[in-house]
Amino acid sequence: MGKRHICCGLSHLGQGGNMIKQFVMDKEGIFVDQMMPQFQLARAYVPFQAYVERWPPMVGLERGTIFPELYRPYVPYRK
Amino acid sequence: MHEEQLRLLKEIMAVDFSLVELNLFLDTHPCDQRALMDFNNLCCQSKALRRQYEQCYGPLMACSDAPPRIPWGWVETPWPWQIDYGRS
């Protein structure tokens, strides 16, 4: 969730004119994105990982992680 | 490098990689008992495997518990780029 929102926020930077309206200062002097006021700027939000399952060492070494939920291999790209 | 030596070396690499992963996880989850138990078990495994490897094939690191010998055991062991890891 966090990553997607950060990407959305960044996409507004290129639009120049809309940038000022996008961010307003709240009561505490912190700039808030009006589209998603629950998030502060320049903060990364990462969900907390839970220890669920672990691959055996040799499988982990081959795949680059021992956590199945973090396994995201690059798929060969073909046009 | 003999087949058995390579197998043991790869096993050490695999266990040590799992230890790095669990180390990172435990940095942010220091109270996770299951992760900590797995870390401790793998730690023992790594030590036992290293001991076994070094007794048979010489030191894994310059500063190791391998029995001292002349010429120095460290220079007698292959450099990483001399090992064909692709062979299994």
The answer to whether residues A30 and A38 touch, using CB atoms and an 8 Å cutoff, is no
B45: number of CA atoms within 13 Å, CB side? 19
ipTM: 0.86
**Residue B88, pLDDT score:** 57
Nearest to A66 among B10, B11, B18 (CB): B18
Q: What is the pTM of this model?
A: 0.72
The region of weakest confidence among A74-78, B22-26, B48-52 is A74-78
* 3-state SS, residue A43: coil
**Residue A15, pLDDT score:** 52
Query: Which A residues 1-60 touch B at CB under 8 Å?
Result: 48-49, 51, 54, 57-58, 60
Interface contact B21-A65, CB threshold 8 A: yes
Q: What is the mean pLDDT of residues B52-68?
A: 89
Tell me: the pLDDT tens digits for A4-21? 444 444 444 545 555 456
